[in-house]
Amino acid sequence: MNRRLPYLIALGALVCALSGLFPMAGGPPEGVTAFGRLPVLSEGRMKPLDSVARNTLLVIQGRQRVVTPEGRELSPDEWLLDVFFRPDLADTYKVFVVDNTDLLSLIGKSEDSQKIRYDKTSQQIAAMIGFIPSNQRRMSFKEIEPYLAQIEAQDKLAEPVEAAERTRFQSAVIQLAGNLSRYLRLRRAMVPEGSDNFLGELLHLQENLADGINAVRDKEAGKPHDEAKAAAMLDEGQKFVGMSESTDLLAIPPDDEDTDANDWHNTGHALLETFGKGFVDPSVLSYAGIGYAWRTGQPDKLAHIVEMYQKSLDQRFAKQVQKVRVETIFNRAEPFYACMLIYLTAFGFAALSWLKWVEPARRTAWGLVALAWVLATLGIATRMWLEGRPPVTNLYSSALFIGWGSVGLCLILEWTYKNAIGSAAAGMIGFATLLIAHHLALAGDTLEMMRAVLDSNFWLATHVVVVTTGYASTFLAGMLAIIYILRGVFTKTLDKATADALARMVYGIVCFATLFSFVGTVLGGIWADQSWGRFWGWDPKENGALIIVVWNALILHARWGGLVKQRGLVCLAVFGNIVTSWSWFGTNMLGIGLHSYGFTQAAFWWLSGFIVTQLALIALANLPLEKWRSFRAPAGPAV
Amino acid sequence: MNAALKQLRSVLVSLRLTVLLLAMSIVLIFWATLDQVHLGVWGVQQKFFHSFVVTARVGELEVPVYPGGYLIGGLLLANLLSAHIYRFKLGWKKLGIWIVHAGLILLLIGELVSGLVQQDYHMSLDEGETKNYSESNRRNELAVVDVTDPAFDDVVAIPESLLARGAVVQSPKLPFRVVPRGYFPNALIQMRSDVPNAPPSPANAGMGAMLAVTPQEVSYTEDAHNTPAAYVELVGPDASLGTYVVSTRLGNPQRFDYGGRSFKLVMRPERHYQPFAITLEKFSHDIYPGTDIPKNFSSKIKLASPDGSLNREVLIYMNNPLRYAGLTYYQESFNGEHNSVLEVVRNPSWLVPYISCGAIALGLVIQFLMHLAAFARKRRTA
């Protein structure tokens, strides 16, 4: 049994990981899922409506789950259908995060009014500790709507202040205003404001189009005309102009023979062309039909219309449709979420193996890490195929890649040493980097388009990948050092052999990190020289990378010169975590230089917190040896 | 050898010094990165890297507070060289380290040289416009242009630094001397009627009498441009021609006639002429549909020399600059739909980092593989 258990656990994890791929009982009907697969052009790339829904939800409320006031859970696709076609309902869903106190008072709320009252004492205690939410962080559009004017005014006041100098209130109000406008742009994407039966209106328009256009022509020419018909036609035109200006979702494909993916336009724009073409765009009619079916609760009809519309695209945009399909599956599978849980479990088993149940727990941990790594590899590969780019294109993907690279190295370490240290480090780094990636995803589409200055697949594939591997290995050295400190100080499991092995691993990984961070930095210099005619410009990100190289070199020289032994080495390696996190995130927070493409303010506090923990670990390592549980015994190793 | 010298030598060749210098360089780079928010990248380079000491202002005094890039880099170089000379031993085992350090020495020297000789300019072109010069990003000059012959401009360019020093300029091309009467590295120029309390100025010629010059704080940030101004008196053999206000803020040159010749007087970014001309034929700029994210910029230019030996079209776009005659032209930015701004860099030592970094990378790989091989051997025997 003990021999098979690792396989059984890994298999169980695999089944859990893949479960997202298959439709569950009680999930949304097939038509809704198919609706999510429809391609649109948004933020510069072709993507499924499903991604539009998920990204919007992540940005405005920090999660994909939506619950109606009646307590029913909606899939992102159902939510989007409601936003498009039943805005009166969608407006009542609490999907806007507002947790700044000043912002709450701006919209007539206070922290007190947002408190959730629990009846049971146990619930009250749980809320106090933070196990269950203690206040309502999310609000519906309907609740915010009366204060739109105030929010807009405050937004205008805050906008001119430079991002780095904004107060928390200013950032919060800018963010809320941005989220509201994002929501409204979606709400107005398919149907004009306040239209109850858009399909009916369009069919009516289609019927009277010829007469109406003639009436308008006659009116403009000063001839006798049917005033009512002309006025109705001009009214429609006005409405469509309004629609075309109030959304950035390009949902309507170009005319039949045009297969250029850049020629998609929004619904209002397509409707304005009605007057020139003499008929209402069939794609617009399809969406209006979907809306009608959704409003009237006819899922079969909805599925039928979606299918017909999808077929009209399959031929013309075969390549894009294929990618969009894969992206929908990718969204649903959430491979990185599964990886995160598996890494965490793996860490648990690895740590367990140091205490008892040594061999089976170690093998289980290794199997789980390998499984998660394969899943992550598939996930990253899918993203690369979708984007047509090398793995690292923005901060989000750098987090994925750093995790992937570190875990890959850990697998080799574990294969060589078989002492569960590699698996433990893999579990920790894998989990942490994916958690960081998850928070970075809240900034918007993670498959966003590249800015012109970065548009070079060759350099992205070489410089960025190599330098990110350098980051990954520096973090790994730091993580191994942390294991050394924690095991040594708090447990009795760090015997001499293990301590020596760990120190050797740290040293080896630092060598590796020196090589990769140096080569990566140099390749960056060459890219800069090729593009801008100078090898080195002292740009913050360049400096950050340089500091990593110098720091790794410092560790090696200190070691060679005998200035540090095992404990000194691990302290330096832990400080390497600080250096690397500064280069990864801190330099972007300065908001200057050529690389400041990923400015994130909330990350500042996380970074500060991380640095404090690392300093605490270094302080811990400097405890006198007799305080280390592992070394308290008289026969401890000389370190 | 006496004891003190011996001690000095043992410090100079020690790894302890190496580690200390590496740590100090990290602090220097980190500090410089933070200061970049205030000083801009150019100011930071001057203050931290191209200097022997970093100074801080205490009251009125500039006090040295930290060793600068030249000092730390120089000491690292000395440490490295002396350690290698002192512990010189030829052998395969140290081959990788040798190559790494040789590359590093070259890199340090190369960076020193490029810091001294690298120059950058920019060239702003409207579509259809032709220029045979680029303009300095930071330095300005006072140009006195003899425009008597409509077919030919005769230019006397006086660098800003001479104005700042108050140096009197006499040129055989000019029938008058140029006498600086006041210089401001950054100044606001306004109509005197808009500034009722402006102090009296010595200017009395050209537009001078109408203008008020208000000195401003010098800014070092990247996007802020300083606009220097000066009072210059033109003094002929017999009498003064008057005192002018000149500034890069005044767009049009001031014209005057003297001794039967016509002149233009203008303060402008220093020009760097080259023996060929560049014409912007077309500037293109795309964004991703439905967004305002730039997708690409490109400038189609014509490169031509006056004698006709050179005449070709070149497309400059992101990550694809034009290298010609020791200069690199790359797409920097644009003003509006029909104007392109090219950055122009002269860096004669551009090849050095390639060689040195190649050597360092090679050395690291060799060293790393030797470590790995030794490790694998040890494990196999263990």
User: Quick one: pLDDT at residue A596?
Assistant: 39
Helix, strand, or coil (residue B339)? strand
Maximum separation of any 2 CA atoms in chain B, in Å: 98
Q: A379 is in which domain, residue-wise?
A: 334-449
Is the domain of B279 the same as that of B197?
Answer: no
Segment A99-110 mean pLDDT:
81
- Alpha-carbon distance B263 to B114, whole Å? 39
Whether A455 is in a domain gets the answer no
Q: CB-CB: which of B15, B222, B361 is closest to A518?
A: B361
From residue A143, alpha-carbon distances to A68, A177, A186, B16 in Å are: 14, 14, 18, 65
User: Quick one: pLDDT at residue A597?
Assistant: 38
pLDDT digits (tens, 9 = 90+) for A359-398: 888 888 888 899 889 889 999 998 888 888 888 888 888 8
- Enumerate the β-bridge partners of residue A307: none
Are the CB atoms for B269 and B136 separated by under 8 Å? yes
**CA-based torsion, B85, B86, B89, B93: positive or negative:** negative
DSSP string, A366-428: HHHHHHHHHHHHHHHHHHHHHHTS-S-SSHHHHHHHHHHHHHHHHHHHHHHH-SSHHHHHHHH
Q: Using pLDDT thresholds of 50, 70 and 90, give the confidence band for residue A614.
A: very high
- Alpha-carbon distance A509 to B372, whole Å? 11
Determine contact: B368 vs chain A, CB below 8 A: yes
Are the CB atoms for A32 and A302 separated by under 8 Å? yes
Segment B139-144 mean pLDDT:
88
Are the CB atoms for A167 and A157 separated by under 8 Å? no
Are the CB atoms for B104 and B84 separated by under 8 Å? no
Is the domain of A413 the same as that of A526?
Answer: no
- Alpha-carbon distance A420 to A23, whole Å? 37
Q: ipTM value, please give it.
A: 0.82
Determine contact: B114 vs chain A, CB below 8 A: yes
Is the domain of A223 the same as that of A297?
Answer: yes
List, in order, residues 6 or more apart from A603 with CB less than 8 Å away.
Answer: A439, A585, A589
Whether A159 is in a domain gets the answer yes
Is the domain of B301 the same as that of B188?
Answer: no
Is the domain of B230 the same as that of B314?
Answer: no
User: Final residue of a domain: which of A390, A425, A449?
Assistant: A449
User: Quick one: pLDDT at residue A593?
Assistant: 46
Are the CB atoms for B181 and B164 separated by under 8 Å? no
Helix, strand, or coil (residue A449)? coil
B-contacting residues of A 29-68, CB under 8 Å?
41-45
Is the domain of B147 the same as that of B220?
Answer: yes
Is the domain of A505 the same as that of A615?
Answer: yes
List, in order, residues 6 or more apart from A459 with CB less than 8 Å away.
Answer: A523, A527, A530, B319
User: Quick one: pLDDT at residue B222?
Assistant: 56
- Alpha-carbon distance B237 to B240, whole Å? 8
Are the CB atoms for B106 and B355 separated by under 8 Å? yes
Lowest mean pLDDT among A551-555, A595-599, B20-24, B242-246: A595-599
User: Quick one: pLDDT at residue A636?
Assistant: 46
Are the CB atoms for A401 and A380 separated by under 8 Å? yes
Which residue from B244, B249, B284 is spatially nearest to B264, judged by alpha carbons?
B244
Judging contacts by C-beta atoms under 8 Å, the chain A residues touching residue B118 are 534
From residue A227, alpha-carbon distances to A79, A212, A232, A233, A271 in Å are: 41, 10, 9, 10, 22
User: Quick one: pLDDT at residue A163?
Assistant: 67
- Alpha-carbon distance B17 to B35, whole Å? 27
Segment B72-84 mean pLDDT:
89
Judging contacts by C-beta atoms under 8 Å, the chain A residues touching residue B22 are 550-551, 553-554, 557
Which residue from B146, B147, B167 is spatially nearest to B158, judged by alpha carbons?
B167
Q: Using pLDDT thresholds of 50, 70 and 90, give the confidence band for residue A599.
A: very low
Is the domain of A159 the same as that of A241?
Answer: no
User: Quick one: pLDDT at residue A488?
Assistant: 87
Helix, strand, or coil (residue B365)? helix
Segment A417-424 mean pLDDT:
84
Is the domain of A523 the same as that of A396?
Answer: no
CB atoms A563 and B19 under 8 Å: yes
User: Quick one: pLDDT at residue B382?
Assistant: 61
User: Quick one: pLDDT at residue A435?
Assistant: 86
Average confidence score pLDDT of chain A? 83
Are the CB atoms for A244 and A268 separated by under 8 Å? yes
Is the domain of A487 the same as that of A635?
Answer: yes
Higher pLDDT, A630 or A26: A630
Q: Kindly provide the b/e burial profile for residues B202-223, where b requires at least 16 CB atoms within 10 angstroms of the residue's own CB.
A: ebebbebeebbbeeeeebbeee
Question: What is the rounded (10 degree) CA torsion for A142, A290, A46, A433?
Answer: 50
Higher pLDDT, B329 or B197: B329
Which residue from B244, B226, B92 is spatially nearest to B158, judged by alpha carbons?
B244
Which residue from B63, B81, B38 is spatially nearest to B217, judged by alpha carbons?
B38
Q: Using pLDDT thresholds of 50, 70 and 90, give the confidence band for residue A591.
A: low
Is the domain of A235 the same as that of A182?
Answer: no
Are the CB atoms for B142 and B231 separated by under 8 Å? no
Segment A629-638 mean pLDDT:
60
Is the domain of A78 the same as that of A208?
Answer: no
- Alpha-carbon distance A295 to A272, whole Å? 25
pLDDT digits (tens, 9 = 90+) for B221-252: 655 578 888 999 988 888 888 889 888 888 78
Question: What is the rounded (10 degree) CA torsion for A424, A426, A428, A432?
Answer: 180
Residue with tokens 């901060």: A395
Is the domain of A143 the same as that of A239?
Answer: no
Whether A559 is in a domain gets the answer yes
pLDDT digits (tens, 9 = 90+) for A502-538: 898 899 899 989 989 998 988 888 888 877 777 888 8
Whether A456 is in a domain gets the answer no
Is the domain of B262 the same as that of B278?
Answer: no
Determine contact: B136 vs chain A, CB below 8 A: no
pLDDT of residue A455 exceeding 70:
no
User: Quick one: pLDDT at residue B22?
Assistant: 93
User: Final residue of a domain: which of A423, A449, A475?
Assistant: A449
Is the domain of B74 the same as that of B102?
Answer: yes
Share of chain A above pLDDT 70, in %: 90
Determine contact: B37 vs chain A, CB below 8 A: yes
Is the domain of B42 the same as that of B111?
Answer: yes
Helix, strand, or coil (residue B182)? strand
List, in order, residues 6 or more apart from A579 with CB less than 8 Å away.
Answer: A474, A547, A548, A551, B26
CB atoms B26 and A538 under 8 Å: no
User: Quick one: pLDDT at residue A598?
Assistant: 39
Give the pairing of strands A73-74 and B177-184. unpaired
Lowest mean pLDDT among A148-152, A432-436, B196-200: B196-200
- Alpha-carbon distance B227 to B188, whole Å? 7
Lowest mean pLDDT among A206-210, A418-422, A632-636: A632-636
SS3 track for B75-91: HHHHHHHHHHHHCCCCC
Number of structural domains found in chain B: 3
User: Quick one: pLDDT at residue B107?
Assistant: 86
Q: What DSSP state is assigned to residue B200? A: P
Helix H or strand E segment including B70 = helix B69-86
User: Final residue of a domain: which of B270, B288, B303?
Assistant: B270
Q: Quote the minimal CA–CA distance from B242 to chain A in Å.
A: 45
- Alpha-carbon distance B137 to A388, whole Å? 38
- Alpha-carbon distance A460 to A389, whole Å? 8
SS3 track for A474-507: HHHHHHHHHHHHHHHHHCCCCCHHHHHHHHHHHH
Which residue from A19, A18, A38, A80 is spatially nearest to A55, judged by alpha carbons?
A80
Q: Using pLDDT thresholds of 50, 70 and 90, give the confidence band for residue A617.
A: very high
User: Final residue of a domain: which of A417, A449, A481?
Assistant: A449
User: Quick one: pLDDT at residue A572?
Assistant: 94
- Alpha-carbon distance B358 to B352, whole Å? 10
Return the residue of A nearest to B356 by Cα: A522
Segment B53-68 mean pLDDT:
85
Judging contacts by C-beta atoms under 8 Å, the chain A residues touching residue B318 are 452-453, 455-456, 531
User: Quick one: pLDDT at residue A129?
Assistant: 65
CB atoms B32 and A456 under 8 Å: no
Is the domain of B287 the same as that of B368?
Answer: no
Is the domain of A36 the same as that of A97?
Answer: yes
Is the domain of B189 the same as that of B283?
Answer: no
Is the domain of B168 the same as that of B241?
Answer: yes
Other Cβ atoms less than 10 A from the Cβ of A88: the count is 10
Determine contact: A511 vs chain B, CB below 8 A: yes
Whether A639 is in a domain gets the answer yes
Q: Quote the minimal CA–CA distance from B23 to chain A in Å.
A: 7
Are the CB atoms for A260 and A198 separated by under 8 Å? no
Is the domain of A178 the same as that of A42?
Answer: yes
Q: B305 is in which domain, residue-wise?
A: 125-129+273-346
Whether A371 is in a domain gets the answer yes
pLDDT of residue B8 exceeding 60:
yes
Whether A328 is in a domain gets the answer no
User: Measured in whole angstroms, how far is the alpha carbon of residue A236 from the centre of its chain?
Assistant: 39
Is the domain of B178 the same as that of B287?
Answer: no
Q: CB-CB: which of A41, A266, A449 is closest to B293?
A: A449
List, in order, residues 6 or more apart from B41 with CB less than 8 Å away.
Answer: A537, A538, A539, A592, A593, B222
Is the domain of A512 the same as that of A630?
Answer: yes
Report phi then psi at A398, rounded to 5: -65, -35
Lowest mean pLDDT among A340-344, B171-175, B375-379: B375-379
Other Cβ atoms less than 10 A from the Cβ of B378: the count is 10
Among B15, B16, B19, B121, most A C-beta atoms within 10 A, so best to mutate, is B19
pLDDT of residue B160 exceeding 80:
yes
pLDDT of residue A459 exceeding 90:
no
Q: What DSSP state is assigned to residue A629? A: T
Strands (E), chain B: 53-58, 61-67, 119-126, 130-146, 154-159, 169-170, 177-184, 187-191, 211-215, 229-235, 240-247, 254-258, 261-287, 294-304, 311-317, 322-324, 327-334, 339-346
Determine contact: A543 vs chain B, CB below 8 A: yes
Are the CB atoms for A139 and A66 separated by under 8 Å? no
Helix, strand, or coil (residue A76)? helix
Q: Using pLDDT thresholds of 50, 70 and 90, give the confidence band for residue A576.
A: very high
User: Quick one: pLDDT at residue A23?
Assistant: 59
Q: What DSSP state is assigned to residue B258? A: E
Whether A327 is in a domain gets the answer no
pLDDT digits (tens, 9 = 90+) for A242-266: 888 888 888 888 877 777 777 888 8
Judging contacts by C-beta atoms under 8 Å, the chain B residues touching residue A527 are 319
Q: What DSSP state is assigned to residue A27? A: S
Determine contact: A131 vs chain B, CB below 8 A: no
Number of structural domains found in chain A: 4
User: Quick one: pLDDT at residue A80?
Assistant: 93
